[in-house]
Structures are given as C-alpha cells and as structure tokens.
Amino acid sequence: MSTRNRNPRNTRFLGTVVAIFTALLLAANLAFAISGIDGPHRRPNGRDSQLRAMFPFAQYATTDWSAVTAALNERPLAAENPRIFSIFLSLGNVFLSGYEIGHVQSVLDRSMGYFEMVAANEDLWGHRPLAGSVVVYLGVSLIRLDSECDVGTSAERIAQLRARVAEIAASEADEIAPIEDLTSLVSASPEEGAARAAIYATAAALLPDDPRSAEWTSNASTIAAALTSAGSASAEASLTMSLVELIYEPSGDVPRALAAFAPSKPLVMAFRHDVSGGGQTAKAAPALDSDALDAVIQDSQANEALLAAYLRQFPPGSQCEIE
C-alpha cells in the first residue's frame, strides 16, 4: 500500500490530537464511574454483564498520553500507528457501552469524541498496511451509533461521522494496489491481508450503492478465502476479520467466505491471559511510556475481541427491542 510524505498538516493534526486528549481527560471521574451509570433503560443481566466486562478499559481514559503524542509527531508515517489509534476506538466503545446501559448524554458525547478524533487524524494512521484494522473498527463503531435507540442531540454529529468514515474507507480502497499475488500476501503477512479485506468490506458496507461496492465485496471475500485455505490467520488477523464479518451483519448478506471468522469469546484469550471478571492485564500508568504501550495495545485488542463477541450475540439495534 502507498504512504504519504510528511507534510505541514501533520503539525495541525497533532494539535488536534493533543487538544482532544486534554478535553477527554477532563472526564476522569466519569471514566471510573462508568460502571455505576444505571438508568431506566437497563438491559437484561446477560447483556449487562458482557457490556460491563469491557468497562475496566476505561482506566486508560485518565492516562497521560503526552509521550505517545510526541512519538506520533516524530513518526507520523510509522507502520505501527494504526494499533495505537485502535486504543482510542476501544475507549470510545467502552463509553458507548456505558451509554447503552444508562443513556446519559455526556457519556455518548465522550464516546463520540474518541471516534471523531480518530477519524480526523487519518494522516497519522491511514494509507499504510495495517490501516484497515482502524477503518473496520471505525465502521463497526459507527454501526453501533447508527443503531442506538435514542441519540439525543447527537444525530447530526453521527451523520457527519458517517460521511467522514465512508469517505476514509473509499479513499483507502482506492489506494490499495490491485490484487496480484494474493497467496503470497496472506502468507507473508496475514495481518496485512486482513487489513486489506477490512478496507474493502467497510467501503462496501458503508457505500452499498457505490458502483465499486460489488468489486469491493468480491475482493474482501477472496482475501478471506485465501486466509482460510492458507491456515495462516494470526490472532490479530482473525480479530480484524471478525469485525469484517460483523460489518456485513446489518445488511443480512454476509459473504460465505467470512463465516469462518465469526467472532468468538475464546479469541480474547489470545490477547489476555487473565480475563476473569473482565479485568485488564496491565495497570494504567499516570504517564504512559513506550514500554507500557504494547501492554495497552494488547488490552485494547482484548476489549475489541470482547466487543466483537458481544455484538455477535447481541447485534447492534437489539438493545432497542421491547423487553
């Protein structure tokens, strides 16, 4: 996949990152109180418990991310940046889960702040081999927002986010080189193969009327079949592909090749050894350094797997059914 040369816009984007992080950190008390948000829209215990299993990740909302933002500024084209930005999508989904239980507008606003920050900073994570993992995570997050029963005053923000994510997905799909040696691609790097499929799938799901949609879906299915036949899907690749499978669920037309990647709870174990009670393996540090970042990324992937398994059992929108 192609990359972009560093340009002056990156400084502005980093300013956006820092400003939004600062605003989000003002919600420190909210982050730790999220498990206490109970309103008239309570879910059955089975749903509740799965949502709450993700809440401990909210501890990272109070982390000092200045070292990470400095690293992003120094290496705006780094291949690992998508994994970093996925952390903030996990935080956004934790707050969205809190909103699903309590329907507190400030919690939804906090959730959207993370999603919007990631979408606004594509230059720091996009147009590189693993970008698709962020694109599809954004897409699934958007589907959750679209399927909420009542979004209060956020309807316009959600519409704007949808337009931006669809634009990103199409842009990323346009920049992917034509598939030439697919077997070589998925064998050499299952994660990159899965990320490529994720870009195609998200673009197709969010832009179903686009004339390129059928080709995008065909490409995603081809990659899925190659990953399955090669038996080379790593835990990270399988996690990305589980979101690819989920993003087609609302349409009711999931490509057959994606069935093997349906989300499952055991996938969480690949990223976390101790999942009892939904606890995280790493303790959030007041100031995050590079040594701790890998542990946070691993926790983020574990939460992402928990979310995928939850959405498999309770599809977006099912929370709105009369109980």
Q: Which of 110, 83, 116 is nearest to 97 (CA)?
A: 110
Residue 64 three-state SS? strand
Please enumerate in sequence order all residues whose Cβ is within 8 A of that of 253, keeping only pairs 6 or more positions apart, or say none.
none
Please enumerate in sequence order all residues whose Cβ is within 8 A of that of 66, keeping only pairs 6 or more positions apart, or say none.
18, 287
Query: Which range (23-37, 77-91, 239-253, 300-314) has the least confidence?
Result: 23-37
- Please state, in angstroms and rounded to a whole number, the distance separating the CA atoms of residues 231 and 87: 28
CB-based contact 205:221 (threshold 8 Å): no
Of all residues in the chain, the percent with pLDDT exceeding 70 is 71
Q: What is the sign, positive or negative, of the torsion defined by CA atoms of 107, 108, 111, 116?
A: negative
- For the cut 50, the answer to whether the pLDDT of residue 6 exceeds it is no
Within 13 A of 275's CA, how many CA atoms are on the CB side?
21
- For the cut 50, the answer to whether the pLDDT of residue 315 exceeds it is yes
Q: Which residues of 24-52 are buried (b: 16+ CB within 10 A; e: fewer)?
A: beebeebbeebeebeeeeebeeebeebbb
- For the cut 90, the answer to whether the pLDDT of residue 55 exceeds it is yes
What pLDDT is attached to residue 36? 44
pLDDT tens for 196-253 read 999 999 999 999 999 999 999 988 888 888 888 766 668 899 899 999 989 988 777 7
- Please state, in angstroms and rounded to a whole number, the distance separating the CA atoms of residues 65 and 51: 25
User: Helices in the chain by DSSP H: which ranges?
Assistant: 9-25, 28-33, 45-52, 66-74, 81-102, 105-120, 122-125, 131-146, 155-175, 182-188, 190-206, 213-230, 235-248, 290-313
CB-based contact 92:54 (threshold 8 Å): no
- What pTM did the predictor assign? 0.84
Please enumerate in sequence order all residues whose Cβ is within 8 A of that of 292, keeping only pairs 6 or more positions apart, or say none.
282, 285
**DSSP for 307-322, written as a single string:** HHHHHHHS-TTGGGS-
Distance of CA 253 to the CA centre of its chain: 21
- Start-to-end C-alpha separation, the chain: 47
Where residue 32 falls among pLDDT bands split at 50, 70, 90?
A: very low
- Please state, in angstroms and rounded to a whole number, the distance separating the CA atoms of residues 44 and 25: 31
What pLDDT is attached to residue 184? 56
- Please state, in angstroms and rounded to a whole number, the distance separating the CA atoms of residues 289 and 274: 23
CB-based contact 255:217 (threshold 8 Å): yes
